[in-house]
Structure 1
Amino acid sequence: MTQTAPAEANSTPRRAEWTGQLGFILAAVGSAVGLGNIWRFPGVAYENGGGAFLIPYIIALLSAGIPILFLDYAIGHRFRGSAPLALRRLAGKLGEGIGWFQVMICAFISIYYTAVLAWAVSYFVFSFDLRWGDDAAGFFTGDYLRTAAEPFTLDFVPAVLIPLVLMWVLALVILGAGVVKGVQRLNVIAVPLLVVGFLILVVRALFLPGAIEGLNAFFTPDFAALANPAVWVAAYGQVFFSLSVAFGIMLTYSSYRRRKSNLTSPGLVVAFGNSSFEVLAGIGVFATLGFFAQQQSLAIDDLEGLTGVGLAFMTFPAIVAEMPGSAFFGALFFGALVLAGLTSLISVMEVIFAGVIDKFELSRTKAVYGIGGALAVVSIVLFGTTSGLTALDTIDNWANNIGIVGSAVVMTITVLWIRRAGRELGGHLSSLSTFKVGRIWLFLVSVLGPVVLGYMLIATAVGLITEPYSGYDPGYLLIVGWGSVFVMIAASLALTMSPWRRNPDRFTVWPPIADTRSRRPQGAAPVEGGAR
């Protein structure tokens, strides 16, 4: 007997939906492929065994990245809501609290991610006249950011302030247009442009003098590194952060999929597409670094700034200044950063607005321009000033390594150990998808995932407590780093305690799974045709 999706309840607002599978895939790829693919993966791979790093990376992708990605898809699609709403329907108030914690992670990420995007826009413009001159590092921290010696100095920097405001306006306009007319349309345009532009960049880099030496440095395997547990932790961390899992993005995006949607096959496309772009970025980055090393008569090992902000805004501008066709190459690189950053930023902010809209039943316009406007003010005050770089580095580290990893550990334990919803969610994936999941998937998400991520969380927390991060003042790290996590937790508790405008538990899951008993939270009341 064929199951049909329940009709939408007359009293429940219809949830926005992607126009089709391609729209969802492009949006998910746009979220996953971000700044970290370009400036983080190449450096992490190089520092953790080179070509040999691909072994733990692929194992991490198959054993944790894809399984947890599927878990996010199953929760969002089955329970038809933002992170707080879907997790509330699955695991009661405890689940809702986890959902709001994910929303708060996204709020913190959005306020600094927009700043990086503003820097990329500035450097796109600077590429045409090579404004950084002969001292790219000095120009970035001095002439451009005017970085203060004291971290709490809040003098505004006009060169940063103007593009930062413009990026906030652009992001809010896109999000205000809606899921289809704004988010999907952006990704349909930006993702193909990003791929084509970056392919041109990589091909150009491969023909530079010294490119082969750079590729040899990147791919030469150091198999001895595989005996180091830190290399495996780095692999799991890279896959985990890159796929945008466990902090509400893929959960929210999957809630916009139609009821009858293949979930796992598109998930494989997204996962392997993201990883392919990371390897492509590694090839392009190290071919370029090989050229730079040859020009400077240095070995790759002797170069500084091989990852993160240093690679993007110090090392690469210095390379561009020495390249034939430098203006074109620089504009292409920073244009790629802008596209990758914008699509990821939009996905992060969608988590915030979806949660607020679901709980407080605000119109999309009020949520986007009201909440988004408040976030923009905080972002401008913190990152449009001379202490922006230090604040960004600190908040980014705590939000990712403590916030996101902690969210993943608590979510998997709550959903799979406490609520014991693994069979239900696995059944949901298999009932709708061509690629089925079973006991292996359940083991990976309920045992291996929490164990590996729990180890990462504990090791990172101990390291941050025992040794000041990046040599910053311990008092500053306590206030800005650990203080950020405290604010996330406090805000998530407050939002969980606030009343819903509409009973979130009046909901009927679909499709019913014959061999799985109902997982509806205690006290939930189903409503006929109440699928949202």
Structure 2
Amino acid sequence: MANATTQAPRREAFGSRNVFILSAIGSAVGLGNIWRFPYVAYEGGGGAFLIPYLCALLTAGIPLLFFDYAIGHRFRGSAPLAFRRLHRAAEPLGWWQVLICVVIATYYAVIIAWAAMYTWFSAQLSWGAGNEQSFFFEEFLQMGNVAEVGVSTQFVPQVGIPLVLVWVVVIVIMGLGVKRGIGRANVVLMPLLTVMFAALVVQALFLPGAMDGLNAFFTPNWAALADPGVWASAYGHIFFSLSVAFGIMVTYSSYLKRKTDLTGSGLVVAFANSGFEILAGLGVFAALGFMAQAAGTDVSGVATSGIGLAFIAFPTIVSQATGGSIIGVLFFGALVFAGITSLISVLEVIVAALQDKLGWGRVRTTLMVAIPIAAISIALFSTTTALAVLDTTDAFVNAFGIMAVAFVAVIVVAWILHKLPVLREHLNRRSSFKIGWIWMLLVGALAPLVLGYLLISEIITKINTPYGGGDYPVWFLGIFGWGMAIGLIIVGMLLSLLPWSRRSHAKNDPEYDEFLVEENYQPDTETGAVRLPDSTQNGARA
């Protein structure tokens, strides 16, 4: 056996396939399902939007989910290690995904903190009827103007304190590990989230005007199907909704047991995520129908998405509805749970990558990762300019981070390295749902075409119309927008050049060696990776 002082820590695993499925659903079901999908569907033609949505799910979302599962499970590592084992030249893709997760984690936590505070505010109707907008921007966030004050350092206690608590909870979950921390958290939080949101939907359906909201949501506008932008919107939403292409599903699938039904699990995750989005649409638009009736307008006059829906429209509904406090607690409590399950999946991408690279233990790696990210998160997002930084960072990391790395990854794996047959063969070994050339065509041809179109459209849009409509200075967009998007690529390439520790899974992983033998896989001599020590036998390559 290899010397204990140089052997990497044993790789963790989910307790069962069901725990993995709950965790994967927990990652996919996030804030976007609740506050983005209903409005995207409404704007995209109401009931007619289900056609492009289902097409996007079946032709891009599920195929790319299988793509991530295959890479993570076949090469048994975090995103950087899995891509390295796929081919040594592909390692920068993994680090690019890791850095995207670093950025997302810093701002995702503060939205959870906002939701936690609004859960408390809902019980007391703290904002006062009619003051929902001014309460959120002026009293709660104490929002400042970046054009006037730059990036503020003025601490906002009602944001900063719950943000610290969110990070404490998440760090504890992460430190407990994959099985005892992430797995158990999802086993508890996902059923709670489902029950809470189902209760919210039931209550919303009995509000006056709820049927008007549902009619607006489901009534099909067939003319919208002729708009290419509607189809692009459906595909763009699916890419983000399923947590594909930025390391999460690669990492989670690496914790699955060897004999696992990958495609069957993927189908369960994908359709469960879509089911939750439909449920969210029911609840949100039933509530908006009530809001419209109370305001004496139609649903189009109150329909909105994102932060405006969550922290302005819903508090207005809470103020006006009978039993509004219950609706508020259920809605914001659901945001908290959905946010936490997604945040821990984002952080796991980073923790797993450094564990694999450095060969450190779980607790040490968690602290070395989470504490600096938490410090940056608190420093940037508990100040008076937090919303501007969040808005810009989120817009650019989605368009030029997640979308860009997905585009490059499928091009590299499918067209440069020609690895799709390897991944297809692995998926078909034990999966209940077999895939063939159609899957390869969807991943290798359709996905890059759609992603390329979306990416080019975003670049043209943001060049022609500076993001924020002129509210954000050029230097601000340069740092938190374009500069960040380009910086992620450069830093990712630099990280891939750093040597792997002798205790890392890349250089000393008997478990991976055993996996290759059990599956009768031959070491890939194209990787150029370091050969495992002779004492691990069989000469497998990392």
C-alpha separation in 2, matches of 1:280 and 1:307 = 16
Give the residue type in structure 1 aligned to 2:113: A
Deviates more, 1:432-441 or 1:144-153: 144-153
Q: 2:516 is paired with a residue of what secondary structure?
A: coil
Shift of 1:81: 0.3
CA-to-aligned-CA distance 1:469-514 (integer Å, 9 cap, x gap) = 1213333212211121133123212211111003726754637889
C-alpha separation in 2, matches of 1:498 and 1:38 = 40
Residues 514, 227 of structure 1: CA spacing in aligned structure 2 closer, same or farther, 3 A cutoff? farther
Q: Residue in 2 aligned with 1:462?
A: 460
Q: Residue in 2 aligned with 1:156?
A: 155
How many corresponding residue pairs?
524
C-alpha separation in 2, matches of 1:519 and 1:25 = 33
Deviates more, 1:11-20 or 1:307-316: 11-20
Q: Residue in 2 aligned with 1:116?
A: 111
- 8 Å contact kept, 1:247–1:404: yes
C-alpha separation in 2, matches of 1:74 and 1:202 = 36
- 8 Å contact kept, 1:98–1:492: yes
1:375 corresponds to 2:370: no
1:528 corresponds to 2:534: no
- 8 Å contact kept, 2:115–2:333: yes
Unpaired runs of at least 5, structure 2: none
Shift of 1:303: 1.6
C-alpha separation in 1, matches of 2:452 and 2:419 = 20
Q: Residue in 2 aligned with 1:254?
A: 253
RMSD: 2.0
CA-to-aligned-CA distance 1:445-477 (integer Å, 9 cap, x gap) = 111001110111111111111101121333321
Candidates 483, 488, 510, aligned match of 2:516: 510
Q: 2:499 is paired with a residue of what secondary structure?
A: coil
Residues 8, 520 of structure 1: CA spacing in aligned structure 2 closer, same or farther, 3 A cutoff? farther
Q: Aligned ranges for residues 185-264 of structure 1 at < 5 Å?
A: 185-264=184-263
1:64 corresponds to 2:63: no
C-alpha separation in 1, matches of 2:155 and 2:71 = 43
1:365 corresponds to 2:363: yes
- 8 Å contact kept, 1:359–1:500: yes
- 8 Å contact kept, 1:34–1:343: yes
1:146 corresponds to 2:142: yes
C-alpha separation in 2, matches of 1:187 and 1:524 = 36
1:496 corresponds to 2:499: no
C-alpha separation in 2, matches of 1:336 and 1:442 = 37
- 8 Å contact kept, 2:38–2:280: yes
Shift of 1:48: 1.1
Q: 2:314 is paired with a residue of what secondary structure?
A: helix
The TM-score normalised by the length of structure 2 is 0.93
C-alpha separation in 2, matches of 1:501 and 1:206 = 57
CA-to-aligned-CA distance 1:112-159 (integer Å, 9 cap, x gap) = 000000000000110111011121111000000000022522211011
Q: Residue in 1 aligned with 2:350?
A: 352
Give the residue type in structure 2 aligned to 1:362: W
Give the residue type in structure 1 aligned to 2:246: F
Residues 515, 378 of structure 1: CA spacing in aligned structure 2 closer, same or farther, 3 A cutoff? closer
Deviates more, 1:224-233 or 1:362-371: 362-371
Q: Residue in 2 aligned with 1:4?
A: none
Q: Residue in 2 aligned with 1:82?
A: 78
C-alpha separation in 2, matches of 1:287 and 1:450 = 37
Shift of 1:190: 0.3
- 8 Å contact kept, 2:8–2:359: no
Q: 1:271 is paired with a residue of what secondary structure?
A: helix
Give the residue type in structure 2 aligned to 1:132: W
Candidates 21, 24, 37, aligned match of 1:25: 21
C-alpha separation in 2, matches of 1:67 and 1:8 = 39
Give the residue type in structure 1 aligned to 2:57: L
Q: Aligned ranges for residues 30-49 of structure 1 at < 5 Å?
A: 30-49=26-45
CA-to-aligned-CA distance 1:420-469 (integer Å, 9 cap, x gap) = 01111000000021111110001001110011101111111111111011
Q: 1:349 is paired with a residue of what secondary structure?
A: helix
- 8 Å contact kept, 2:248–2:345: yes
C-alpha separation in 2, matches of 1:58 and 1:505 = 43
Deviates more, 1:500-509 or 1:424-433: 500-509
- 8 Å contact kept, 2:122–2:328: yes
- 8 Å contact kept, 1:33–1:340: yes
Q: Percent identical across equivalent pairs?
A: 51
Candidates 415, 419, 422, aligned match of 1:421: 419
Q: 1:13 is paired with a residue of what secondary structure?
A: coil
- 8 Å contact kept, 1:157–1:385: yes
Residues 348, 279 of structure 1: CA spacing in aligned structure 2 closer, same or farther, 3 A cutoff? same
C-alpha separation in 1, matches of 2:271 and 2:377 = 33
- 8 Å contact kept, 1:428–1:513: no
Give the residue type in structure 1 aligned to 2:486: F
